[in-house]
Amino acid sequence: MLNLIFDAWKIARKDLTEFIRDKLRLVTFIIMPIFMMTLVGFIFPSQNSLKNIPIGVANEDTGQVGTTYVQMLKDFKTNGSNVFEVTDYSNLEAIKEGIREQKISGGLVTPSNLTSSLTANTQVAVTIVQDQSNPQISALTNQILQQTVAGFGQQIGAKKVAALLVKTEKVNPQLPLVTSPSPFAFIEPIKSTITGLVSGKTNYFDFVAPGIMAMVVMTAVLTGLAASVSRENEQGTLDGILVAPIRRLSIIIGKAIAQSVRGVFQGFIVLLLAVFLFGVTIHGSLLLVALVLALGIFSFVGLGILVSAAASEQETATQLLFMFQFPMLFLSGAFFPLQQMPKIMQDIAHVLPLTYAIEALRKIMILGGGISDVRNELIVLVVFGAVTLIIALPLFNRLVKR
């Protein structure tokens, strides 16, 4: 048993030495997660990350209210920077043209009777124009614009109700509607407040960081393991190891150790980036994160061996793996919530070990979950790893005994 571990360690050390000396591979290895995180940040904007969204405003109002509202839009800030970059347009058609030319990502038209309608106490509508070529941005823009319209409307409504209350009291002081009434009790009788499991706001990065981390680690192990075995087979060096009096299992363990070290290292690059560059807060225990990663790696070792046993050439192995990996990226919930997917896709997702690793990481990292919260996920990872290993080891032995 001790020899098995020693032999495995020798092979792991050799693999890692080779890896560290390959400068190009080392550089891509470090740059890859940085790349992925940054790109994902741009593709999926969060509300916090949106600044200076170019929009067009056509203020057709003949009175003063339109001007006040537009000024409010121009001054609207989150985290100290302007949300919108407002350009004035003459009318709805001009805004549509602006969107078509991709100069603006949306727009708003105030009607000519805005002020007069409000004075006359009738309801009035402003028009929000959306850019349908960009659903992500337009959904956010719509949401923010609607909020500003509603907020602005509420302020006006509150003033009117307050005035109304004063009048009622004057006309009939014996019958006050309520004691010390607030106008908001009439315009917005029920409010909602939001509370979470952890303090602070979460953004898309909080959601995606555990996903990318699990994905990077596990694909590194999966491809690394298969490529490393098939490369040695192709180059002939595997014969040099096989002809030595060591057990086949120590070869596999050694290779798995080397790949795991690489994978965990890469995973922590993602973690550091997430924390220091993208402001992700980790609420759970880092030790537990490491445990999930380790078991995630374990769940993939068998699959990696299976692939290297099936493909004797490195290129075939890489292609085979791509077939596994590509769907897994989308089905495991790394980038998109599983709940968004059709039922059948969700069922497939629940066969993939990556899904469980990511779920467990999210529970720990975002929600501050403990080991009892991720027990089921950990069990699935262990079982998946054990079953694939039981299938893979005899196949590997057969490969090397051709």
Partner 1 sequence: MENNQDNANIIEVKNLVKRFGKFTAIDDMSFNVKKGEIFGFLGPNGAGKSTAIRILTTLSLPTSGEAKVAGHDVVHGQDLLRRQIGLVAEKVILYNRLTADENLEFFGSLYHLPKKVVHERTEKWIHKLHMAEWRKKQVGTFSTGMKQRINIIRALLTEPEVLFLDEPTLGLDPQTTHVIRTFLRELNDQGVTIVLTTHDMNEAEALSDTVAIVDHGKIAALDTVENLKKLVPNVKDPTLEDVFLKITGEETRDIASGKIASGRRFGPH
Query: 173 or 236: whose CB is closer to partner 1?
Result: 236
Minimum distance from CB of 265 to partner 1 (Å)? 18
Query: 338 or 393: whose CB is closer to partner 1?
Result: 393
Query: 7 or 359: whose CB is closer to partner 1?
Result: 7
* Vertex 84: Cα angle to 78 and 89 (nearest 5): 160
Cα-based torsion angle of the residue sequence 242, 248, 253, 255 in order, rounded to the nearest 10 degrees? 30
Minimum distance from CB of 396 to partner 1 (Å)? 14
Minimum distance from CB of 1 to partner 1 (Å)? 15
Query: 171 or 244: whose CB is closer to partner 1?
Result: 244
Minimum distance from CB of 217 to partner 1 (Å)? 24
Query: 88 or 239: whose CB is closer to partner 1?
Result: 239
DSSP-assigned letters across all residues of 204-273: HHHHHHHHHHHHHHHHHHHHHHHHHHHHHHHHTHHHHHHTSS--HHHHHHHHHHHHHHHHHHHHHHHHHH
Query: 4 or 36: whose CB is closer to partner 1?
Result: 4
Amino acid type, 18: E
Smallest Cα–Cα separation from 353: which of 303, 291, 280, 279? Answer: 303
Minimum distance from CB of 32 to partner 1 (Å)? 20
Minimum distance from CB of 18 to partner 1 (Å)? 5
Query: 162 or 393: whose CB is closer to partner 1?
Result: 393
Point out which residues bind partner 1 (CB under 8 A): 3, 7, 10, 14, 17-18, 21-22, 235-237, 239-246, 400-402
Smallest Cα–Cα separation from 211: which of 79, 334, 363, 54? Answer: 334
Q: 274-282 long-range CB contacts below 8 Å, 24 or more apart?
A: 274/37, 274/205, 274/209, 274/213, 277/37, 278/37, 278/41, 278/205, 278/209, 279/203, 279/205, 280/205, 280/206, 280/209, 280/365, 281/198, 281/200, 281/206, 282/365
Q: Phi/psi at 88 (nearest 5 deg)?
A: -80, 135
What is the residue whose two structure tokens read 């996920």? 377
Query: 176 or 240: whose CB is closer to partner 1?
Result: 240
Minimum distance from CB of 20 to partner 1 (Å)? 9
What is the residue whose two structure tokens read 């050799």? 14
Smallest Cα–Cα separation from 360: which of 382, 342, 344? Answer: 382
Task: Sort strands 127-130 and 81-82 into parallel, antiparallel or unpaired.
Answer: unpaired
Minimum distance from CB of 253 to partner 1 (Å)? 14
